[in-house]
Amino acid sequence: MLLPLFILVATASLANAATTLWVDTTPQSLRPYALKKGRGIKLPGGNTFPVTGNSSGNAFCILNTNADGSAGGAGVFPHVHKKTYENFYTVKGRVQLWGQNLDTYLSNSSIQQTRILGQGDIGAIPFNTIHTFSLLEPDTQLTGVLVPGGFEEFFFNRNVSPSPPIPGSGSGGGGGDETPLPGAGGFNISDLGKWDVYPQLDFVPRRDVVNGKAGPGNWYDGPNELPSNMAAPIWVARNRGPKWLSNQGGRYQIVTPFVTGQQTNGTFSQGTITLRPGPVAEGGSGTTEKRMWVRSEVATAFMMEEGQLEVAVEGYESVSLIDGDVVFVPGNTSFAYGATAEFTKFMYVTGGGWGLDYQLMANAKPWNSAFYPQEEGSGVKRGMLLRI
Ligand SMILES: *[C@@H]1O[C@H](CO)[C@@H](O)[C@H](O)[C@H]1NC(C)=O
Ligand SMILES: *[C@@H]1O[C@H](CO)[C@@H](O)[C@H](O)[C@H]1NC(C)=O
Ligand SMILES: *[C@@H]1O[C@H](CO)[C@@H](O)[C@H](O)[C@H]1NC(C)=O
Ligand SMILES: *[C@@H]1O[C@H](CO)[C@@H](O)[C@H](O)[C@H]1NC(C)=O
Ligand SMILES: *[C@@H]1O[C@H](CO)[C@@H](O)[C@H](O)[C@H]1NC(C)=O
């Protein structure tokens, strides 16, 4: 009586172990998955959504915009979100982002900030912050992280609600129509609040950028500290923010946080991790300990930037990720990751303030270089030879 049952279970777990993590497009429900570069739910205009509210249990949305920004700087009207935190990360090309807290803008007690974001630079826009942006280069990729997930429904609904004809354009637009707002589709602009979009049409973006910035704070000219609250936009230029060196499991990882739970009231974190291939096992067998297993209570996503990363999720075949690939792991799911190439780097997002980044930084030390230490005699050297 027991035997057939046992076989059934064994077959099921075998089948499970062979399940692939790769999917063709963003799933509509919560599960672990991996997507090749450029895959995911798409909208016209170069928008791809590798992670959505549906696929992440509403933890976060990742939106990649690939577009030509050279012709007049494609962007959107100034607006505020009251519930959605939105980060603007430049993967390639350049993006200009403006931001100012709404309350201090209205009371005229703060100064508007803008930055030109090059590759690897980020601007974090807490909710209640006026913002607008422009893409600037012919081949620009802007990666937006929107928290909580679900905001993306605005883009999908905007898309099925086409822009009204522009008055006087000869295409039959009725006289007296409001001029359509670029980026608002056919929505009534007084009624965008149901999508958590509040236009701020009096906001005039400043144009006096010098050396990539205007308004208070450092940019490429000094360290970019993380503030302890959400009172203003947060700007972190590539490698100019805080860095932590972890050697957990005997291998180096540099954690470069953009925002942690402290800057997001515990709702998410984002940054990059740069890692070295795992240590060669003792005994000279030549085998390499490639991966480190972790488990976090919150969802985790990686988007690859350099090198090659092997990722395993319990119950799935492991996958090998390269440039642009995305992997998503729900909370409370064990997974492992390890580099198979030198200087492997990825952007991470966690669906709460105390995720993988926090686990690593809690056991790491402050670090002031973009490079991890190189052993004497190591085959590959980048930058200076560093010692700890
Ligand atoms: C999310 O799921 C809901 C319910 O199934 C569906 O109506 C909506 O279109 C989905 N959104 C996206 C962006 O796929
Ligand atoms: C805002 O404050 C600045 C300096 O504090 C001042 O020059 C400017 O006139 C003020 N603007 C308004 C609209 O009150
Ligand atoms: C737009 O929305 C506002 C506020 O809900 C409403 O008063 C107005 O009539 C709407 N306009 C049109 C053209 O529907
Ligand atoms: C921060 O989160 C707590 C509870 O999670 C909430 O009560 C509080 O209003 C939040 N603060 C802000 C500024 O959103
Ligand atoms: C993971 O488990 C913890 C403890 O049971 C729970 O508090 C948390 O909500 C779970 N996380 C998710 C994403 O379900």
Residue 209 lies in a domain: yes
Residue 247 lies in a domain: yes
CA-based R_g, the chain, Å: 23
**Could you tell me if 250 and 351 lie in one domain?**
yes
Residue 261 three-state SS: helix
Ligand nearest to the CA of 49: 1
Q: What is the pTM of this model?
A: 0.88
Residue 375 lies in a domain: no
Q: What angle (nearest 5°) sits at the alpha carbon of residue 77, between those of residues 74 and 82? A: 125
The reply to whether ligand 1 has any atom less than 6 angstroms from the CB of 152 is: yes
Residue 27 lies in a domain: no
**Could you tell me if 216 and 269 lie in one domain?**
no
Residue 269 lies in a domain: yes
Spans in the chain with pLDDT lower than 70: 1-17, 73-74, 159-183, 279-290, 375-388
**Could you tell me if 230 and 279 lie in one domain?**
no
**pLDDT of 191:** 82
**Could you tell me if 224 and 257 lie in one domain?**
no
**Could you tell me if 207 and 58 lie in one domain?**
yes
**pLDDT of 285:** 45
CB atoms within 10 A of CB 356: 23
Q: Which amino acid is at 191?
A: D
Task: Report phi then psi at 2, rounded to 5.
Answer: -75, -30
Residue 346 and residue 253: Cα distance in Å, rounded? 11
At 187, list the tokens: 């929505």
Residue 278 and residue 293: Cα distance in Å, rounded? 12
**Alpha carbon nearest to ligand 1 atom 1, residue:** 54
**Could you tell me if 255 and 232 lie in one domain?**
no
- Tell me the residue range of the domain where 292 lies: 243-367
**Could you tell me if 51 and 175 lie in one domain?**
yes
Residue 25 lies in a domain: no
Q: Give the residue numbers marked as catalytic.
A: 79, 81, 86, 131
The reply to whether ligand 1 has any atom less than 6 angstroms from the CB of 157 is: no
Residue 380 lies in a domain: no
Residue 133 and residue 116: Cα distance in Å, rounded? 10
**pLDDT of 17:** 53
Q: Which residues line ligand 5 (CB under 6 A)?
A: 297-298, 331-332
Ligand nearest to the CA of 85: 4
Residue 234 and residue 121: Cα distance in Å, rounded? 11
Report whether the peptide linkage leading into residue 199 is cis, meaning its omega lies within 30 degrees of zero. Answer: no
The reply to whether ligand 3 has any atom less than 6 angstroms from the CB of 178 is: no
**pLDDT of 12:** 39
**Could you tell me if 185 and 253 lie in one domain?**
no
Residue 248 and residue 255: Cα distance in Å, rounded? 12
**Alpha carbon nearest to ligand 3 atom 13, residue:** 188
Residues in a beta bridge with 64 = 48, 143
Residue 84 and residue 271: Cα distance in Å, rounded? 18
**Could you tell me if 211 and 259 lie in one domain?**
no
**pLDDT of 181:** 67
CATH code assigned at 109: 2.60.120.10
What's the total number of domains in the chain?
A: 2
Residue 277 lies in a domain: yes
**Could you tell me if 280 and 161 lie in one domain?**
no
**Could you tell me if 151 and 175 lie in one domain?**
yes
The reply to whether ligand 1 has any atom less than 6 angstroms from the CB of 52 is: yes
Ligand nearest to the CA of 26: 1
**Could you tell me if 99 and 219 lie in one domain?**
yes
CB atoms within 10 A of CB 258: 27
